């Protein structure tokens, strides 16, 4: 009988955020697959848990995945952890989970801390719909396209950013969004120097530029949705007909959604009735 892969969330800062279930799982599995074994060993030492550790990260997951799957198929059970928070959320693990599913191995979530969810919980921005961009590309067209997506998004967007690049990111956003667009900078969540700064992007950019402490630690940046454009229905209908003359309804709805801030599905249904 195959073993079980437990995907275990660990604290993002405050040790007391570990769950009782996570403690039980970590103490009982045959081994723990960790992004950084040295970091995880320190966590286990703090928790008083002694289990074998295996490295599993971006640079070895292609080689390590079939090895772990074979051991799971032989009956061993493993916990998969990242350095902090929930595995697979901007962390390695996707290939292992997918391989286990394809092999018929049970994959069990052990939920807990997550930096992006913690940030959304304290930001005071709408969370009924949100987009998680993770870490943006460092440079090139991939980064500029991501900045444009954030600027035009009809939902709250969450981004992870390295502290030495946060000022650059704010400058890049300020160049393409209105200066009063609301942002929330969450830094060092659950840690001693936890900071949550909310305000316009112009204001937050100035505060970060003048306080070097805001350019340190783990950062989640939340950006409010683009304001909905107020468009006269007759004007919108004229534009829609021009688009439909050149594009399929699905493409036309996508263009109109980006332009108006309305939902694509809502616009698609409206286009079908024109």
pLDDT of residue 232: 64
The pLDDT of residue 153 is above 80: yes
Section 116-123 average pLDDT: 98
The pLDDT of residue 258 is above 80: no
The DSSP letter of residue 10 is B
- Strand ranges across the sheet with 106-110: 53-55, 31-34, 78-81, 4-8, 106-110
The pLDDT of residue 98 is above 80: yes
**Under the phi-then-psi rule, with left for phi > 0, alpha for psi from -120 to 50, and beta for the rest, what region is 75?**
left
Asked if the domains 4-113 and 116-223 are classified in one and the same CATH topology, the answer is no
Looking up tokens 């040790």 gives 15
Domain residues of the chain, as ranges?
Answer: 4-113, 116-223, 233-273
If you count them, how many residues does the chain have?
274
134 phi and psi angles, rounded to 5 deg: 65, -145
120 phi and psi angles, rounded to 5 deg: -60, -35
Section 94-108 average pLDDT: 97
Report the topology of domain 4-113: Cobalt-precorrin-4 Transmethylase; domain 1 (3.40.1010)
Report the topology of domain 116-223: 3.30.950
Token digits for 112? 């807990």
Is the model more confident about 73 or about 232? 73
The pLDDT tens digits of the residues spanning 32-90 come to: 999 999 999 999 999 999 999 999 999 999 999 999 999 999 999 999 999 999 999 98
3-class SS letters over 173-240: HHCCCCCCCEEEEEECCCCCCCEEEEEEHHHHHHHHHHCHHHHCCCEEEEECCCCCCCCCHHHHHHHH
Across 17-21, 141-145, 238-242, which has the greatest mean pLDDT?
17-21
3-class SS letters over 62-104: HHHHHHHHHHHHCCCCEEEECCCECCCCCCCCHHHHHHHHHCC
Section 222-238 average pLDDT: 79
pLDDT of residue 239: 83
pLDDT of residue 230: 56
- The answer for residues whose C-beta is within 8 angstroms of residue 78's C-beta and 6 or more apart is 3, 4, 5, 6, 29, 30, 31, 32, 33, 54, 68, 71, 72
Section 111-118 average pLDDT: 97
Mean pLDDT lowest among 59-63, 229-233, 258-262: 229-233
Name which of 35, 31, 99, 19 is nearest 65 in CA terms. 99
The pLDDT tens digits of the residues spanning 77-89 come to: 999 999 999 999 9
The pLDDT of residue 212 is above 70: yes
Mean pLDDT lowest among 136-145, 159-168, 220-229, 258-267: 258-267
Asked if 84 and 113 count as a contact pair (C-beta separation under 8 A), the reply is yes
Mean pLDDT lowest among 135-139, 156-160, 185-189, 265-269: 265-269
């Amino acid at each position: 009988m195959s073993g079980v892969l437990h995907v275990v969330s660990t604290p993002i800062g405050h040790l007391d955020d570990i769950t009782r279930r996570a403690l039980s799982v970590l103490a009982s599995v045959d081994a723990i697959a960790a992004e950084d074994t040295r970091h995880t060993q320190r966590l286990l030492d703090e928790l008083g848990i002694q289990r074998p550790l295996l490295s599993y990260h971006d640079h070895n997951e292609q080689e390590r995945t079939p090895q772990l799957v074979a051991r799971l198929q032989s009956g061993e059970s493993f916990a998969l952890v990242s350095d902090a928070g929930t595995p697979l959320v901007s962390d390695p693990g996707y290939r292992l989970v997918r391989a286990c599913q394809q092999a018929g191995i049970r994959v069990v979530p052990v939920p807990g801390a997550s930096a992006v969810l913690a940030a959304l919980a304290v930001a005071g921005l709408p969370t009924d719909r949100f987009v998680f961009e993770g870490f943006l590309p460092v440079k090139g067209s991939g980064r500029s396209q991501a900045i444009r997506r954030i600027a035009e998004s009809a939902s709250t967007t969450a981004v992870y950013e390295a502290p030495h690049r946060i000022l650059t990111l704010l400058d890049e956003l300020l160049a393409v969004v209105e200066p009063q667009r609301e942002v929330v900078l969450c830094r060092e969540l659950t840690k001693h120097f936890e900071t949550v700064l909310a305000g316009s992007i112009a204001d937050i950019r100035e505060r970060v530029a003048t306080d070097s402490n805001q350019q340190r630690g783990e950062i989640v940046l939340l950006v409010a949705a683009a304001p909905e454009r107020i468009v006269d229905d007759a004007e919108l209908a004229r534009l829609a007909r021009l688009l439909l003359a050149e594009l399929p309804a699905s493409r036309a709805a996508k263009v109109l959604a980006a332009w108006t801030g309305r939902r694509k599905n809502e616009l698609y249904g409206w286009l079908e009735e024109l």
